[in-house]
Amino acid sequence: MSAPETWLKDARTKVGTAVLAARAEQIGRVEEVGDGIALVSGMPNVRLDELLRFEKGQLGFAQVLEEDRVGCVLLDDVDGVEAGDSVRGTGDVVRVPVGPGMLGRVVDPLGRPLDGKGPIESDTRMPIERPAPSIIDRDLVIDPVQTGLVVIDALFALGRGQRELIIGDRAIGKTTIAIDTIINQKNSDIVSVYVAVGQKSSSVRRAIDAIQGSAAPERCIIVVAGAASSPGLQWIAPFAGMTMAEYFRDTGGHALIVIDDLTKHAATHREIALLTRQSPGREAYPGDVFYVHARLLERASKLSKDKGGGSLTALPIAETDAGNLSAYIPTNLISITDGQIVLDAKLFYQGQKPAVDVGTSVSRVGGKTQAHALREAAQTLRLDYAQFLELESFTRFGGMPDTRVRQQLTRGGRIRAILDQTQHAPLRLADEVALVLAVQGGLLDALPLKVISAFRKGLAEVIDRDAADAVAAIQDHGTLDEVGKQALVGALAAYAKGLTPARAEPAPTP
């Protein structure tokens, strides 16, 4: 059979099997366009959040439904959309690819690759807006998420399924805390999702380099909607990242999502609301800004065993202006989340990093999720440190404190020294327990403050060598019995004694 005959036969087959029936299709027209928003007429049956396709292939979703037109938020370049262009409804909502094929990739909020590694290998797409698990489907938050930061793990423990806000002024280490937490999951079973919303390209590049250089990038997903992205992409980014993370929770795994940051997301929501002519409220934010973030963060949870026992932990980030925690968006987020890590600019510029304000930070789950060994070691650590800070402020006025006060000041200075930590260098749980035991047991009191960093640097090697059984128990089970504690304290005491400078012998009396 010749080629033309083969082609004709295939054509007849296709025509014979074609289904001929009426098909309804919504087609509207763009009335106005600008600043990432298109006002569309002629689509009375479009649904809220429905995905719309424009004449040249651009995508958008219906954000505002009015009697005679639809406010559509564009997800692509606004320059390609013009007044008079046709718009078609898809009958579907915004969906993103999910699954193991997303791991190790850098994508935009629609799941399109940004890393040049080829197409995403995923056959499953899920809506970015999904209902939060019901109360009956949730379980208690009792398992820890180790951040590798002593100040957080010892004082404000995080749990799997918790929502802990990281809040503070700009450029004082909020993102660093979140990235360090992701890096510390290198040897855990937690999958990490980092979502950048409205961040500068240089900031996003630093975060990507830190994750790919120090974490386990093959178990991370990075979602980027930078400052140059359309407002629509910035708006859907946290929801898209949450959907990608929920896949691992719903399949029985554990996930961590960092949203950097929700202050910029709120500003984008306000921008979209004003452009679509919604009624402004306090500080020009629309009335539903609280609901937007509440329905997003409520999706983080620990599921019951009947639902697979997976967990999704959220670390949203918020930025304050001059430390004002009572502003509109910060108060909203504080009321939604299960606690907050507050960073203080004054501490940061004094050189205390992470610059966590111990007095105003809190974890509403607290010691329930803390590893047993660390909880036992750090029982009075927060109280001792708070008393030290108060005593230190009083002694600045002068005077000679008595012996007990001098001891408290000495101990408090060592507590502050062990809470200070370099970025992108999280500690093992065993190292954190050892540090807290050493400072609470007074083993560091004789060490000069400048020697504390040397003590920390060689700590892991010493305890691995001299208290291997205790280290194994802490790392494997988070527990430490009395025999192991004595062995660990003995190793720490010998190590500290070796670093203590020798005191000069008094001169003999003539």
Identify the DSSP state of 91. Answer: E
Q: Map residue 191 onto helix, strand or coil.
A: strand
Question: 262: buried, middle or exposed (CB in 10 Å: 19+, 13-18, 0-12)?
Answer: buried
Strands 95-98 and 124-127: antiparallel
* Partners of 190 in the β-ladder: 254
Q: Is the CB of residue 159 less than 8 Å from the CB of residue 364?
A: no
**Residue 22, CA distances (Å) to 19, 53, 322 in order:** 10, 21, 62
Task: State the residue for tokens 């907050």.
Answer: 340
Q: What are phi and psi of 443, to 5 degrees?
A: -70, -20
Token code pair at residue 415? 């507590």
Peptide bond before 76: cis, by omega within 30 degrees of 0? Answer: no
Q: Residue-wise over 122-142: b if at least 16 C-beta within 10 A, else e?
A: beeebebbeebbeeeebbebe
Q: Is the CB of residue 109 less than 8 Å from the CB of residue 240?
A: yes
Question: 272: buried, middle or exposed (CB in 10 Å: 19+, 13-18, 0-12)?
Answer: buried
Token code pair at residue 85? 């262009």
Question: 49: buried, middle or exposed (CB in 10 Å: 19+, 13-18, 0-12)?
Answer: middle
| Distance separating alpha carbons of residues 120 and 108, to the nearest angstrom | 12
Q: What are phi and psi of 101, to 5 degrees?
A: -65, -15
Q: Which residues are catalytic?
A: 364
Report the candidate in 384, 407, 380 with the shortest Cα–Cα distance to residue 395: 407
Token code pair at residue 340? 């907050």
Report the candidate in 105, 167, 129, 147 with the shortest Cα–Cα distance to residue 333: 167
Peptide bond before 481: cis, by omega within 30 degrees of 0? Answer: no
277 — alpha (psi -120 to 50), left (phi > 0) or beta? left
Q: Map residue 32 onto helix, strand or coil.
A: strand
Token code pair at residue 378? 């750090």
Token code pair at residue 180? 């360090």
Q: Map residue 87 onto helix, strand or coil.
A: strand
Q: Is the CB of residue 365 less than 8 Å from the CB of residue 141?
A: yes
